[in-house]
Chains A and B, each alone.
Chain A
Amino acid sequence: MKHTQGLCSTTISDLGVRLGNSEILKGVDLDVHCGEITAVVGTNGAGKSTLLKAILGEIPHTGSIAFADADSQRLGMPTVGYVPQKLDFDYGSPTSVLDLFAAVRSNIPVWLRHSQRTRQETREGLVRVHAEHLMNRRLGSLSGGELQRVLLALALTPVPDLLLLDEPVSGMDRNGLRLFYETVSELKEDFDLSIILVSHDLDLVAHHADRVAFVNGQTIELCGTPADVFTDPRVVDTFALGLFTHLRADAGGIN
């Protein structure tokens, strides 16, 4: 079901986060359109994780976050699906993929049994990310790419208004990354999702994001297409992107 572009979106207005005496973020405005991947880039400590935490409701913030559907009906806070960074997972835990889904979706204790409904829902969720064969596998036995797809499926169960991808590239091989982004693009189309992607991998962002928001100076300094943002002098300067152009020029223009 496609919404007319521009009408369905999550709008963040004048968002600010204060921790003690310091202002971590202020005056953050961002429009995340449905069916688009909006990447959030910035150096370490710029405030990207803080922004995510504010959207997730983990930390208090000023300003507003509102979801509007295709008919421009403002529906209040969006439901958020969060795909966490893989780094802090307890990989040694004898938890199967099904256990993980059941733990968040069902009240039946996972050490006891799983209901048919939970199994079915998990299977459907995993099918969407081409991971149905992983249902009974231990989390620790999955490759980086497989775990990322499982976490993605979990964040989409049930399908949220807004999907947050937190550094999904860390610890993944090139092939896993490619498959992951293909999956995200498919889901973006199928469910008309608004997606916020936080990543340090600028190359990947440049290839897959529809829009890029550059966090700097406690706010979003710039937002636009990858072409606009990655050629802006402020961004080029911050990430030393000019250095690479220089190297490419040295190599005789060979890419």
Chain B
Amino acid sequence: MKNALLGVLLVTPLFGLLGTMVVNNRMAFFSDALGHSALTGIAIGVIVGMGNPQWSMLVFSVLLALGITAVKNANAASTDTIIGVFSSTAVALGIAILSMRGGFNKYAVYLIGDLLSISATDLILLAVVLVVVLALWVTVFNRLLVVSLNRPLASSRGINVLLYEYLFAVLMAVVVTISIRWVGILVISSLLVLPAAAARNVAGNMRQYHVYSVAIAIVSGLSGLIISYYWGTATGATIILVTALFFFGTLGLRRRLAR
């Protein structure tokens, strides 16, 4: 339980932070696709004979992120469709391979997550990722923001739009893959999106946006963990439900604060 608590304290600010840009860039579906592709990453790891599929998941996820971004930039088809195509193909492939081996059940834990079984090593990995994201957030956030607001404007200011687009996609792939075992494929994109979406309802500037997003994520995470522990529900899903409450609550406040 102590480990799970630390896990929540590492994962939630990470998602609260990253989520601000995921929502700004309208990448909820993209993050969902990355989460689903974890199955395929695992399948590939299984076929190749890996004991710990973490690496195959990571590599596949990053390649998927790069692939979707490249096709999106080269193609006139809608982003929605492109992600849909990549995602469904990847997921189907993963499920087919895993079910073929006869025991899909043992992978079901990835669907809903298992935060209560997180180990010390896993925590260290999460901590490292959090530090990396924080470092990036300090050094390149401004540029990411301008790109998310208006691409021609960013370009006119000497910002390499493509570079930051790819960078952010890869960052998302890494964060999603590292956390998927604890949060679960089915709810991971919600954890990325909901705190930031709730914060967006009431924030008046970037600082408030971040403070609210991280605060909501942490509070939801801790409450969700405690509730899930006593009720025996899946932790990830419980956290999402608490966050959803925040979202609907702030939605009500939005009209009054619109300024």
Contacts and interface: CB of A to CB of B under 8 A. Distances in A.
Nearest to B258: A141
Most chain A beta-carbon contacts within 10 A, residue among B20, B142, B148, B206: B206
A96 B141 contact: no
A50 B208 CA distance: 39
A193 to B, nearest CB: 16
Contacts of A109: 137-139, 141-142
A99 interface: yes
Contacts of B208: 94
B150 interface: yes
Given A56-B156, A82-B153, A109-B142, A94 B259 contact: no
Contacts of A151: 153
B66 to A, nearest CB: 23
A110 B207 contact: yes
A93 B155 contact: no
A81 B20 CA distance: 28
B157 interface: yes
Contacts of B156: 56, 58, 80-82, 84
B84 to A, nearest CB: 22
Contacts of B204: 94, 96, 136, 138
Nearest to B17: A111
A113 interface: yes
Nearest to A154: B153
Most chain B beta-carbon contacts within 10 A, residue among A90, A96, A103: A103
B155 A98 contact: no
B199 A94 contact: yes
A248 to B, nearest CB: 38
Interface in B42-65: none
Contacts of B20: 111
A137 interface: yes
A85 B150 CA distance: 9
Interface of A: 56, 58, 80-82, 84-85, 88-90, 92-96, 98-100, 102-104, 106-107, 109-113, 136-139, 141, 151, 154, 166
B205 A136 contact: yes
Given A88-B151, A109-B138, 18 more contacts: A56-B152, A84-B152, A90-B150, A93-B200, A94-B205, A96-B204, A103-B145, A104-B146, A106-B142, A111-B209, A112-B207, A113-B207, A138-B259, A139-B149, A141-B258, A141-B259, A151-B153, A166-B152
B228 interface: no
A95 B146 CA distance: 10
B138 A112 contact: yes
B216 to A, nearest CB: 14
Contacts of A80: 156
A90 B152 contact: no
The 8 tightest CB contacts between A and B, nearest first, are: A82-B156, A94-B203, A96-B205, A111-B210, A103-B142, A94-B209, A110-B206, A109-B141
A94 B206 contact: yes
B149 A100 contact: yes
A136 B199 CA distance: 17
Interface of chain B, main secondary structure: helix
Most chain A beta-carbon contacts within 10 A, residue among B149, B155, B207, B208: B149
B24 interface: yes
A111 B148 contact: no
Contacts of B142: 102-104, 106-107, 109-110
Contacts of B141: 109-111
A47 to B, nearest CB: 16
Given A90-B24, A111-B137, A111-B206, A99 B145 contact: yes
Given A99-B205, A102-B142, A82 B258 contact: no
A111 B137 CA distance: 9
Contacts of B153: 82, 84, 151, 154
B25 to A, nearest CB: 8
B35 to A, nearest CB: 24
A112 B206 CA distance: 8
21 contacts: A58-B152, A58-B156, A81-B156, A84-B150, A88-B150, A88-B152, A93-B148, A93-B149, A94-B204, A100-B146, A100-B149, A104-B142, A110-B142, A111-B141, A111-B206, A111-B209, A112-B207, A136-B204, A136-B205, A138-B205, A166-B152
